[in-house]
Structure 1
Amino acid sequence: MTISTVDPSTGQSLNLAQRERLAFIDFRAYFFGGVTRADLVDRFGISPAVATRAIAQYIALAPGNLILDPRKVYRPTSQFAPWHEHSVSRVLAALSEGAAYGGSGVKGELLPCEQPSELAVPRLDILAAVARAIHQHKALRITYVSITSGEMQRDIVPFALVSNRVRWHARAFDRNKKQFLDFVLRRILSAEVLDDSKIEPHERSASDVQWSRIINLELVPHPNHKRESVVRLDYDMPDGVFRVAARAANVGYLLKLWAVDCSPDHSLDPEVFHLWLRDPLSIYGASTSLAPGYVQPTVS
């Protein structure tokens, strides 16, 4: 379906509120099999009349998508084609947390969902300070606890937040060590934005070689796995290869998270590691300390 963002009744572009309501109607019809005026009233806090107009607007924009049943529920027809471009991640966020598609009426999961929680959730005040520094392009003075150095004060220039699904960290230039490093947010005891501290070009993300370097990984079913066809189905790899781009700074985290055998001879247990990195040399020079089974090649 060609998605129109123009109100057919006025010829004017749809405003943000209208687009959110239309996306919600599309979402409810597509993923729940029906939408009512009450759904819009509850979700957006609008009057029944405004809800009726929103549904009429959707029908005009996506003719043939909905049909009204005797229970006054608008059901998707057999010819239904999504009007809105739904992303899988946003749909899953909505289903599991009620966190998408506008409005403020729904809290919590929309369908029964179970997902593991992150083990190391950052302190809100620390997260706020780091976020401000990133957004405002400022340096940050932190009290940080590391495994090697213990507790100490450090000046850093953070530019991105990264999650490895277990904990959050900030990618930043460390003025003490004169290099780009990852700082675990839970290990920051205090943080102060340095408003008057000038950021030098070599402290910016563009100078972080490991962050700027993009590696194209080719993951294949583990050669020793007894059901290669199942692995191909799991990862949507009809040609037998799952291709994904990753930053060199994050590649070790990701390969560990995805349980990818990175050994050159695929020697790890295929019952645990369903995927194998087809070309281990592709991650040479990246942050590979966490990559399972990776062996640093010897240089002659």
Structure 2
Amino acid sequence: MNTTEIINEMPHAQRERLAFIDFCLHFFGHITRNDLVNRFQTGLAACTRDFAAYRELASTNLVLDHSTKQYYRTAAFVALFKYQPDIILQSLSRGFGNGISNSTQPSEQCFDAVQLIHPDSSIIAALMRGIHNQTACEVGYVSVSSGESVRLFIPHTMINNGHRWHVRGYDCKNQGFRDFVCTRFTHITGSDEEILPHQRVSADVQFNQIVNLVIIPHPGIENPLAIEMDFAMHEGKKIMTTRAALAAYILRQWQVDCSEGHRIRGQGCQLALENVDVLQRIENPTLAPGYSV
């Protein structure tokens, strides 16, 4: 039997544990027996058998460092399980849910929005290892304005802006924190470059600054009560607390009219930003509908 057939013959519980080992190596770069114990509430003896089973299937995927008692991902790593990008990102954002290795059958009674953009799982894995281990990455990136270039990038957070996934981090080329679209990376490799204090997430002012967005029904709506009910508003308002780095994405996703006097009409804006002065505190206000200098 080939590897896939051997895995399929295993009990479901063991497949899930092997998938967890595979996932942690792929996306975080390391795993310990205690990680498996804490995740599945199994004994150390059972964990030892699981790691032995994994090594029988993929002996070149991991190496044990006896000094730290951690298994580390090798450069020869090849994932045993297939990972769908949308499921990976949903699971990572929710703290790694059960059944990460398995896709689900779409419902015939409940339909979600169609997702057109799916980052490659190998790109997600490389970014997550950089984030999790706080290491720099050498990346190839294609920009709409300047084309393809290679740069040193220090990722710290994955962000879904409602339409696509971005990764935020320190861009050594432009010497500042930037958001990059995950589907535009051509390659990502680890780097041994030292990360300086001003390049760490703690120095990202926009990411660490918290702002309040006061959302109200658009003044052009004839029956604002409907909008208040849609968004569970209290006394005609909804206050959203978010990071400054994410504020413009939220305003664009929900088509919130951010113009002075809320001038947008007939373009699908059912919401308006009451405290438009907050736009002066975010780095990318031009993304907000109706914003003008």
TM-score, normalised via structure 1 length: 0.62
Give me the whole-angstrom Cα distance separating, in 1, the residues matched to 2:135 and 2:239: 36
- The amino acid across from 1:253 in the alignment is Y
- Decide whether aligned partners of structure 1 residues 295 and 106 sit closer, same or farther in structure 2, where only a CA change above 3 A counts: closer
- Decide whether aligned partners of structure 1 residues 104 and 226 sit closer, same or farther in structure 2, where only a CA change above 3 A counts: same
- Residue deviations 1:5-36, cap 9 Å, x none? xxxxxxxxxxxx9xxxxxxxxxxxxxxxxxxx
- Decide whether aligned partners of structure 1 residues 161 and 103 sit closer, same or farther in structure 2, where only a CA change above 3 A counts: closer
- Decide whether aligned partners of structure 1 residues 273 and 199 sit closer, same or farther in structure 2, where only a CA change above 3 A counts: same
TM-score, normalised via structure 2 length: 0.63
**Is the Cα–Cα contact under 8 Å of residues 215 and 283 in structure 1 kept in the other structure?**
no
Q: Give 5+ residue unaligned stretches, structure 2.
A: 1-12, 14-89
- Residue deviations 1:155-198, cap 9 Å, x none? 0000000011221111010011100001111110000011x221
- Decide whether aligned partners of structure 1 residues 181 and 102 sit closer, same or farther in structure 2, where only a CA change above 3 A counts: closer
Q: Among 118, 123, 133, which residue is 2:120 paired with?
A: 123
Residue 238 in structure 1 maps to residue 234 in structure 2: yes
**Is the Cα–Cα contact under 8 Å of residues 162 and 249 in structure 2 kept in the other structure?**
no
Q: Which residue of 2 aligns with 1:203?
A: 199
For 1:22-41, list aligned pairs within 5 A.
none
Count of aligned pairs between the two proteins:
200
- Decide whether aligned partners of structure 1 residues 142 and 274 sit closer, same or farther in structure 2, where only a CA change above 3 A counts: same
SS in structure 2 of the partner of residue 289 of structure 1: helix
- The amino acid across from 1:163 in the alignment is N
Q: Among 210, 218, 243, which residue is 1:222 paired with?
A: 218
SS in structure 1 of the partner of residue 125 of structure 2: helix
For the pair shown, which has the larger CA radius of gyration, 1 or 2?
A: 1
Give me the whole-angstrom Cα distance separating, in 2, the residues matched to 1:104 and 1:186: 22
SS in structure 2 of the partner of residue 250 of structure 1: helix
- Residue deviations 1:55-96, cap 9 Å, x none? xxxxxxxxxxxxxxxxxxxxxxxxxxxxxxxxxxxxxx99xx
Q: Which residue of 2 aligns with 1:262?
A: 258
| Displacement after TM superposition at 1:238 (Å) | 3.1
- Structure with the larger helix share: 2
Q: CA RMSD in A?
A: 2.5
Q: Which residue of 2 aligns with 1:178?
A: 175
Q: Among 149, 152, 166, which residue is 1:152 paired with?
A: 149
Give me the whole-angstrom Cα distance separating, in 2, the residues matched to 1:197 and 1:146: 24
Q: Which residue of 1 aligns with 2:249?
A: 253
